[in-house]
Amino acid sequence: MLVPQVMVPGLTQSIAFRANPRKPPRMSEHRENPRLRIRIVFGERGMIGPGKAELLERIDSAGSIAAAGRVMGMSYKRAWMLIETMNAMFREPVVESTRGGAQGGGARLTGTGHKVLATYRAFEAEAARAGRAELCALQGLLSDISDGK
């Protein structure tokens, strides 16, 4: 499993890339590594959460909406719909795309897209730092589950 992480003393916050995004993490992973999954809702304007943030990261690294969607196990149509939603949600587009053809198409994050992603990830890290004691307290209240169950 490939899981980049933000390290906070006493807490590991997972911030994205599961090798198999459709397979839920094992309970032992949650016991050892509590993680936050924060969704910020802007009322009627929309929301941003871990899925949209991961999609932006994948587009930034792959340079393609289709490739980003494939890695995440979603269709191009679904990935494009999420990008359209985010482009409409913010004052300026977060992703710009070019059509395919002889040169091939592509997509890239705009300056706004980079700011949105960086701000969201910074918010996640700050929330993890601020809530570290409470997350540790909750973790301490979890029951022990043997591997045999």
What's the pTM?
0.73
**Do the Cβ atoms of 82 and 127 come closer than 8 Å?**
no
Q: How far is CA 141 from CA 12, 31, 35, 73, 134, in A?
A: 17, 10, 15, 34, 11
Q: Which residues contact 2 (CB under 8 A, 6 or more apart)?
A: 17, 18, 19
* Residue ranges per structural domain of the chain: 48-96+105-129
Could you please state the CATH topology (level 3) that the domain comprising 48-96+105-129 is classified under.
Answer: Arc Repressor Mutant, subunit A (1.10.10)
Give tens-digit pLDDT for 58-108: 999 999 999 999 999 999 999 999 999 999 999 999 999 987 665 667 999
pLDDT digits over 106-135, tens only?
A: 999 999 999 999 999 999 999 999 999 998
